[in-house]
Amino acid sequence: MRYIVLGFAYILFVLLCEVTWARDVAIIVHRDNTTSELSLEEVSKIFAQERQYWEIGKKIYLVLQEAGSPEKQVVLRKIYRKANDDELKKFWLGKIFRGETTAFPATLSSNEAVKRFISQAVNAIGFIDSTLVDDSIKVLRIDGKLPAERGYVLSDGAAE
């Protein structure tokens, strides 16, 4: 009986860890942004600054998080297709060297800082942990899905 209880406790621990460690990244914009959905390809183009305008005259302001955040790791893998921040820095340095952009994107220190900035900047786009979403910002559907929906592409658990 004791081994059954220990086995059950172990399985419960593993399941709780999986729920705790699984992370969905929400792509967020200002509440008044008219965009509600993008494809992963469109998100990738925006985050690479290949697409720089929401519509004529409305320049997209890209906001990233500092190196090391779990959300940034998901964005590196799923949007940029980069293994680490060093590869992303090389990517941006190349764009600057070729004259495709003049500077690195804005980088903020936390999910809360990104959320606060996006809530005040009408043309901004960024990403946060989906559990921190509130009504101060708008979450975009990616390929028709929101965070926590089955098959959401910007999930730690989604297939690559």
Give residue 149's pLDDT band: very low, low, confident or very high (50, 70, 90).
very high
pTM for this predicted structure: 0.84
Tokens found for residue 33: 């942004």
Range of weakest confidence among 5-14, 98-107, 149-158: 5-14
User: What confidence score (pLDDT) does residue 156 get?
Assistant: 85
Distance CA 153, CA 87 (A): 22
99 backbone φψ class: left, alpha, beta (φ>0; ψ -120 to 50):
left
Distance CA 84, CA 88 (A): 7
Class of 24-142 in CATH: alpha beta
Query: How do strand 58-59 and strand 53-55 relate by DSSP bridges?
Result: antiparallel
Would you list the domain boundaries of the chain?
A: 24-142
Give residue 159's pLDDT band: very low, low, confident or very high (50, 70, 90).
very low
Angle, alpha carbons 155-134-81 (nearest 5°): 25
Give per-residue pLDDT as tens, 56-68: 889 999 999 999 8
Give per-residue pLDDT as tens, 97-106: 999 998 999 9
